[in-house]
Amino acid sequence: MGERGAVIEVTKWKLLRHPADLIWRYRRLATVILAVVIIQIFELTLLNYKYDIFSGGFLQPFAYKTFVERVCFIVVSLCFDLSLFGMIASFWFFIADRLNKYGLTIYYNFTAVVVLLVGMFLALKFKVLSYFSDTVNLQIIKNLGGGSLMEALVYASKEISLFIAIAIVCVIALVVIIKNIKSHKIIIRLSEIDIQHSAYSKIFIFFIIATPVITYFVSNDDFLRYGLEKKLSYKLISNGLDKLSDIDFDGYGSFNYPKDKAVWNAAIYPGALDIPNNGVDEDGFLGDAIEPKPQSDRFSEIPKKSGKHIILIVLESARADLLNQQLNGQYVAPAIRNLAIHGVSVKHAYSHTGYTTTSIKAIFNRGLVSDPTKTYLINFLQSVGYQASIVSGQDESFGDVATEVGMKNNDVYYFDARTAIEDRVFPSKEQGSLRLSEERVVAQFQTRLSQLDFSLPQFVYLNFQAAHFPYTHPKMAKNLVDDLIPRSEINMDNRDWVARTYWNAIASADWAVGQVVEALKAKNLFEQTTIVILGDHGESLFDDGFLGHGHAINDTQTQIPLISNDPNIVVEEPMGQVDVAELVVRSALGLPNQWKNKDKVVFQLVGSLSQPTLIAHVKQDGVRTLFDFRSESVFFSDLNRWQPYGEAIVDVAHKDRVINLLREWEALRWQEYQNTKGR
């Protein structure tokens, strides 16, 4: 055996005489369990804080409320954590064995590194989700960035940099601790000990075999899957197994949800483009898609003539409740409120997408999909003699808006935050960060007003960015409050402060609207001008558990103000942004402006038409039918009830709502494909 071997055997014998011997003998298994327990406690705490998974929350389809439900969920959750981190540990120990590294340092390093990295990831994830909803994904981030993932990441660089700095500090601390403990005598002595780990190997093999079975079971169980799909271990394992089972390479397998309904046919998968009348149900909904019927376009019936001047004002992130909102006893939007009192305020107006770029395109191009057969607003106005002027507080080239809606047409006066880049309120020159103060935009409007020939009909588009996150900027006027919240302090605990700052920003936008009205009155142009004001989308202020927009379909994020100084407009139906151009032109031309189709619905979307997360129809009374593509389930807001697609589609009382929603989505997708396939 030799002297060294004898020493090791004696040391082993001495160690195994103590109560800790059992843990030391099964130290590899104990190391994994320790890491899993720490991660499990941390992650479940965050899950309950964010989603109330053990008590139930707003619009939540499932919760684990009974003792049995909680134990079942936690046990299955532990299985996935043990599987994932057991595999990581096996690789770690394999490398250590090849390098002849043993002992406590190896196990400490594993536990510290895994817990640190996972903890940082979960902290970052739930920090983001504390602002938003769990619908946030790369597609939604791109939409918020005007279609560019890079722009979105640049805009969020401050938060990302903060977490990177924290990560670097933690890593440095970890290295220092490891370096110090490695010099201790007991660590050196324990590092010389090597014991076979057959028990660990057997348990690891068991989990390797059992995990796919458990994963497949969970993927078919809505109740367990609801909570587990929010866990890191389940998502990684289920996604990995799903990729391995993707036999036809269409991106979907058998271990995730929704599942591939035709594992041998690459043309059929969840969310596939369903080609009408080809006898194949590519997306798995409603059978084969139906060729969309041509829709009548009332706008084409409008006579080709000019009328009143038009001022179209878009307010960034403006909520529908701004008219009646008060702060410190004052209305936050008295100028807009006065226009509504003497004109009209549409009670149920909605954004379709919750993103700025797609909202502006919907307003000007009268649709959610580019359609060369439609007459776009600026093109129509120019064709009947209007002069067009663009005066915007944002960079209208963001997401190619300016080009796609006609702002860069010949003879259009164009001014935006890119044009006056030296007057920006923030240092960044990135597209998503460029903003001008309300005072700067008003000053430019007044300059342009003095240049215009009002013997010709004029169209002016104004965009005020006051209420853009973080709801303040260094030049922001303190209209109603003395303390504007710093960006670093925006969180759920400070939601009242966030709200006060937001409403102060709305007051700044309202001041700007008031200046526009006063400038028109000073030139005796107010009565000869149609003014229409609307929001590009709403804004959640933690009042419904979220912050921001574009990641949930609810009233705070999608219901918008729509106000005009024309009292002859009558609206008794829900209106989407695609209707605004017609409303504006009819008002300016003095045409009948009656909107009384009470059966009408407005289509809403989170994500993109090709990769949606949520779609919805909203009616005049605010009732929504919402479809979640991740779970293939339907939410009926009037019933406050979630229902699986398979059940909802045969529910006699409500199936038509589901069918109409999915049919419109399929039709829009097909239209998008038809209009872009030749590009």
Mean pLDDT value across residues 347-376: 91
pLDDT digits (tens, 9 = 90+) for 305-318: 989 999 999 999 99
Dihedral, CA of residue 516, residue 521, residue 523 and residue 528, to nearest 10: 100
Task: Find the length of the chain.
Answer: 679
| Higher local confidence (pLDDT), 158 or 343 | 343
- Residue 329 Ramachandran class (φ > 0 left, ψ -120 to 50 alpha, else beta): left
Q: How confident is the model at residue 131 (pLDDT cuts 50, 70, 90)?
A: low
Range with top average pLDDT, 29-33, 297-301, 583-587: 583-587
Distance CA 398, CA 434 (A): 10
**Amino acid present at 370:** S
Mean pLDDT value across the chain? 84
Name 532's bridge partners.
312, 564
Q: What is the pLDDT of residue 489?
A: 85
**Weakest mean pLDDT among 275-284, 491-500, 544-553:** 544-553
Q: What is the pLDDT of residue 2?
A: 46
pLDDT digits (tens, 9 = 90+) for 233-281: 999 999 999 999 989 888 888 888 888 888 888 888 888 899 999 999 9
Name 576's bridge partners.
350
Distance CA 399, CA 395 (A): 9
Q: What is the pLDDT of residue 134?
A: 54
Token pair in block for residue 160 = 């990302």
pLDDT tops 60 at residue 441:
yes
DSSP 310: E
Q: What is the pLDDT of residue 171?
A: 60
Distance CA 476, CA 484 (A): 9
Query: What distance, in Å, lies between the first and last C-alpha atoms of the chain?
Result: 78
Q: What is the pLDDT of residue 140?
A: 46
pLDDT tops 70 at residue 192:
no
Range with top average pLDDT, 33-37, 217-221, 591-595: 591-595
Run of H or E residues at 508: helix 495-522
| Higher local confidence (pLDDT), 128 or 80 | 80
Determine what percent of the chain is predicted with pLDDT higher than 70.
Answer: 83
Mean pLDDT value across residues 586-612: 92
Are 644 and 222 in contact by the 8 Å Cβ rule? The answer is yes
Q: 534: closest CA among 229, 239, 320, 270?
A: 320
pLDDT digits (tens, 9 = 90+) for 367-412: 999 887 888 999 999 999 999 999 999 999 988 899 999 999 999 9
| Higher local confidence (pLDDT), 610 or 130 | 610
Range with top average pLDDT, 100-109, 252-261, 369-378, 517-526: 517-526
Q: What are the CA-CA distances from residue 170 to residues 85, 106, 117, 124, 635 (Å)?
A: 21, 19, 9, 14, 43
Residues 6+ apart with CB under 8 A from 132: 546, 547, 548, 551
CATH architecture for segment(s) 307-597 = 3-Layer(aba) Sandwich (3.40)
DSSP 3-state percent helix, strand, coil across the chain (nearest 5)? 50, 10, 40
Would you list the DSSP string of 50-111? HH-TTT--TT-S----SHHHHHHHHHHHHHHHHHHHHHHHHHHHHHHHHTT--SHHHHHHHH
Beta strand residue intervals within 426-483, DSSP E: 458-464
DSSP SS3 for 374: coil
Are 526 and 339 in contact by the 8 Å Cβ rule? The answer is no
Q: What is the pLDDT of residue 257?
A: 82
Q: 515: closest CA among 410, 443, 423, 614?
A: 443
Q: 593: closest CA among 609, 579, 608?
A: 579
Q: What is the pLDDT of residue 548?
A: 82
Beta strand residue intervals within 363-477, DSSP E: 387-392, 413-415, 458-464
Q: What is the pLDDT of residue 181?
A: 57
Token pair in block for residue 547 = 């912050």
Q: What is the pLDDT of residue 49?
A: 75
**Amino acid present at 138:** L
Mean pLDDT value across residues 545-568: 90
pLDDT digits (tens, 9 = 90+) for 449-487: 999 999 999 999 999 999 998 899 988 999 899 899 988
Q: What is the pLDDT of residue 326?
A: 94
**Weakest mean pLDDT among 110-114, 222-226, 327-331, 448-452:** 110-114
Q: How confident is the model at residue 539 (pLDDT cuts 50, 70, 90)?
A: very high
**Amino acid present at 131:** Y
Question: With b meaning 16 or more CB within 10 Å and e meaning fewer, what string describes 209-237?
Answer: eebbebbbebbeebebbbbbbbbbbbeeb
| Residue owning tokens 């594993």 | 110
Run of H or E residues at 576: strand 575-576
Are 118 and 110 in contact by the 8 Å Cβ rule? The answer is no
Name 594's bridge partners.
570
Name 607's bridge partners.
612
The gap from C-alpha 216 to its chain's centroid, in whole angstroms, comes to 28
Q: What are the CA-CA distances from residue 159 to residues 115, 147, 168, 501, 654 (Å)?
A: 22, 20, 15, 20, 44
Q: What is the pLDDT of residue 146?
A: 45
Mean pLDDT value across residues 645-660: 94
pLDDT tops 60 at residue 5:
no
Are 658 and 646 in contact by the 8 Å Cβ rule? The answer is no
Half-sphere exposure for 286 (CA within 13 Å, toward CB): 21
Q: What is the pLDDT of residue 452?
A: 96
Angle, to 10 degrees, between the axis of helix 232-244 and the axis of helix 198-219?
Answer: 80
DSSP 423: G
Domain boundaries, the chain: 2-130+186-228, 273-301+601-679, 307-597
| Higher local confidence (pLDDT), 62 or 193 | 62
Residues 6+ apart with CB under 8 A from 247: 253, 263, 264
Distance CA 12, CA 1 (A): 15
Q: What are phi and psi of 458, to 5 degrees?
A: -120, 140
Distance CA 615, CA 612 (A): 7
Distance CA 588, CA 566 (A): 9
pLDDT tops 60 at residue 164:
no
| Residue owning tokens 């938003």 | 132
Distance CA 307, CA 589 (A): 5
